[in-house]
Amino acid sequence: MSNAEPRPENIGDLDFFTRQIMAPNGFAFMWVYKPLCPACGKARLKKPKKTAKFYACEACKKEFEKPEYNKLLAYNIEYTCPACGKKGLIHGEWEKPGTKTSKVMVKFECEHCGEKNTIYRMSKLKKKKKK
């Protein structure tokens, strides 16, 4: 059972995503949406400028500090478990790593066999060119 959010159509709606191999033969696709505004629910929270220290709703213009924003983040992971080979899709609250140097992005248990899997920050992300 899963209440995961739909696969992303627009990378711009995402706070974070990664696709990676979980050795030896597992696979994971993780995506985290920029959260919907808790005040109006009409738009996602985004930084008004790249350098901004806060996030704002594009609909109601309410502003949120980074800690508030981070509390709203939730991960979705579509995976093939490297231990049992089964596929799964899970959803949960995401504790965003506090520093850019932290390598572990999230740990999760396979819903079939309970294997503890880890998703890492990739050293080089191939960014899709949009626009």
- What backbone torsions phi and psi does residue 11 show, to the nearest 5 degrees? -60, -25
CB of 90 to Zn ion, least distance (A): 11
**64-77 residues labelled b (16+ CB within 10 A) or e (exposed):** beeeebbebbebbb
- CB atoms near residue 1 (< 10 Å): 5
Binding mask 43-82 for Zn ion (x = CB under 5 A): --------------x-xx--------------------x-
CB of 27 to Zn ion, least distance (A): 12
Binding stretches for Zn ion (CB under 5 A): 37, 39-40, 57, 59-60, 81, 83-84, 110, 112-113, 115
